[in-house]
Structure 1
């Protein structure tokens, strides 16, 4: 079972991780990859819609979730979902080749790139799965990049996580009213990504090439 690859950028505040990650996203998209981004923040009360707009009116009326479907974009506002990163990626970014994650430094299964600024403590000794370090200092045993090597970093990410990571296709068989139906690829990807992300988060991962999942709806 192959899930959409997630690669995290971590670092202390003002370390430059957003600037570097955005450059990497630009390099990857220029190469034809579809890239999603999930960013964490400690801030609360961030304005997601403007007072006086229809979406704000619905939100103030108590709607638990509001979506705005426009010709050029879809904007969704909900309460914070209690979902792990792989499930979030499956639901919202099922059509992506890779998802770049900023923050979430204590999420163990996600490979991470630490962006380090001189004078700050290192994170690689405090969190799991740091695969590369960006900054002036070099650490034995950890891949190193300078801050101006965003293109080289993008190449490493593409080679390691995209080229050998085909997306989930044609693995989900669904029967409705006794008839087998074929799901749209994006829906199939979202279902499988979410199921396996949830299973991974709950230590229920399995190794068999084929897994049978029965769901009964009444």
Structure 2
């Protein structure tokens, strides 16, 4: 599962400039980075009216995917709950080390980097928005990169992660060991489990 961070700020604060810098630098170090960008535009079509995908979506298909040799385009319905949205992103970008969101300042459960606009008060940002861990201006590229790398290093050393609703729960190393050994011991008594187990995921829905 990827580390998810949100790059937030007002229009023209330099989010995309900073974000593209992070992507370029991180891939040099071998990280695989995914990006999801939000927009205030509504009803904007990315395929032309009359195309086959447009016709399927107009007919009421829940999800539509256009598969090409060099590109896959996936059309999804809007998500009502942030929990469902984040859960879907984790699965969609499961093979990424980092998923960088641009925007989504009110989305709960994820750490945020705020890119300051001219004249903004950092204290007001902290007061009004949750989970803003770093406040920078767009010129502080190296500082932002260092912060992201440290987050990725911590995640790479984490063997067990626990998510409740849309938020990740921090586990101390001895708690991670207890959960890991408990689940591995349980799996040893089950048929059909591969001899080599490299990743386990448990999902529980409370009625």
Residue 200 to residue 48, structure 1, CA distance change in 2 (3 Å): same
User: Is 1:17–1:115's contact at 8 Å kept on the other side of the alignment?
Assistant: yes
Q: Which runs of 5 or more structure 1 residues have no equivalent in the other structure?
A: 136-146, 172-192
TM-score, L = length of structure 2: 0.71
* Alpha-carbon offset, residue 209 of structure 1: 1.6
TM-score, L = length of structure 1: 0.67
Deviations 1:126-175, CA, capped at 9 Å, x for gaps: 1122221112xxxxxxxxxxx323244223211x2212323998x9xxxx
**Could you tell me which of 142, 153, 159 is aligned with 2:144?**
153
Per the alignment, residue 179 of structure 2 pairs with 209
Residue 57 to residue 214, structure 1, CA distance change in 2 (3 Å): closer
Residue 205 to residue 119, structure 1, CA distance change in 2 (3 Å): closer
1:136-215 equivalences under 5 Å are 147-158=138-149, 160-166=150-156, 197=163, 199-201=164-166, 209-210=179-180
1:78-97 equivalences under 5 Å are 78-81=76-79, 82-84=81-83, 85-97=85-97
User: Is 1:10–1:104's contact at 8 Å kept on the other side of the alignment?
Assistant: yes
Residue 98 to residue 19, structure 1, CA distance change in 2 (3 Å): same
Across the two proteins, how many residue pairs are aligned to each other? 176
User: Is 1:114–1:124's contact at 8 Å kept on the other side of the alignment?
Assistant: no
Deviations 1:25-69, CA, capped at 9 Å, x for gaps: 121122221111122233210112112322112122222211011
RMSD: 3.1
**Could you tell me which of 57, 62, 65 is aligned with 2:63?**
65
Moved over 3 A (4+): 202-208, 210-215
